[in-house]
Amino acid sequence: MKLISCLAASVMLSQMVHSASAEVVVVVAADSPVNSLSKSHIANIFLGRNNYLDGRIRVTPVDQPEGSQARQEFYENVVNWNPASVKAHWSKMIFTGRGKPPRQVASDTAVKALVASSPGAIGYIDAASVDSSVKVLKLAQ
């Protein structure tokens, strides 16, 4: 009896968490020629391994603050790296002088502003924050 109630409680809790986790989308400037990118390409951009959006446009990845929900979800679902690995990765990149981490801005709004204003910028925001200033990229596998 006690077990069943325990189970029921845990199921409810997980549903709540799920509904609370908003969907993150990857965005570029609205007039960008790029419409879709593969997840691995996006991951490579955010890990400093690829400096181009497509063949020609130099890319400027934009990160949200550490600990923000968007950042957590983006790295979890799109890049597929945990924070510690990302940190270790950038440690090495910076220490060996091979690159610097994405620019960090404070919020979805700041991301949109930055993305809309620079053709090579790419960022991620909550799906709810999308407006006409940015274009949501289709994520190919």
Partner 1 sequence: MADMMKTKPFKRMAQRVTETQILFPALALIVSAVLWMGTVLLIRVDTQATRDSALAMTRELTETYEAQVLRVLREIEQNFKIIQYAFDQQPRDQILAELSVRELLPPTLLFNIAILGPGGRPLPGSATLAYPVDEDTLATHAQSDNLIIDAPAATTSSSEYLQFRRRLSNQQGDFVGVAVIEADAAFFTSSYDESRMGENGMLALIGTEGQVKVRRLGQQVIAGEPMNYGEFMEGLASDMETVSLLRRSPLDGELRYISARALFGFPLAVAVGLSEAEQHAPMQARADTYIARGALINLLLLLVIGLLWRLSAQLARSRRLEVENKIAHAEQIEYLAYHDGLTGLPNRSLFSKLLSQNIAQGVRANTQLALMFLDLDHFKYINDTLGHDAGDDLLKEVSQRLRDALRESDIVARLGGDEFVVILPVVKTAEECVTVARKIIQTVAKPYQLAGQNFSVTASIGISMFPEDGRDEETLTKHADIAMYKAKQEGKNTFQLYSSNLHAESIERLALESNLRQALERDQFTLMFQVKQNLKRDGISGVQAVLRWQHPHMGLVTPSRFLKAAEEMGLLVPIGRWMLNQACRLHQQWLAASGQTLCIAVELWRPMFYASHLLADIQSALKDAGLPPECLEVEISESVLMEDIDKSIKILSNLKALGVRIALGNFGVGYSCMGNLRSLPVDVIKLDRSFVSNLSPDNEDRERAEAICTLGKSLGMTLIADGVETDSQMQYLKANSTRCLEGFYRNSPMTAEAFSNLIQSLERQAS
Nearest in space to 100 (alpha carbons), one of 89, 109, 113, 110: 89
Which of 103, 141, 140 has the alpha carbon at shortest distance from 122? Answer: 103
Closer by beta carbon to partner 1, 43 or else 137: 43
Q: Is 104 in the site for partner 1 (CB under 8 A)?
A: yes
User: Is 121:32 a contact under the CB 8 Å cutoff?
Assistant: no
124: enclosing H helix or E strand: strand 121-126
Tell me how far, at minimum, the Cβ of 11 lies from partner 1, in Å. Answer: 35
Q: How far is the CB of 90 from partner 1 (least distance, A)?
A: 6
With tokens 């091979």, the residue in question is: 98
Q: Which is nearer to partner 1, 96 or 141 (CB)?
A: 96
State yes or no: residue 58 binds partner 1 (CB under 8 A): no
What is the binding site for partner 1 (CB under 8 A)?
A: 66, 84, 86-88, 90-92, 94-97, 100-101, 103-104
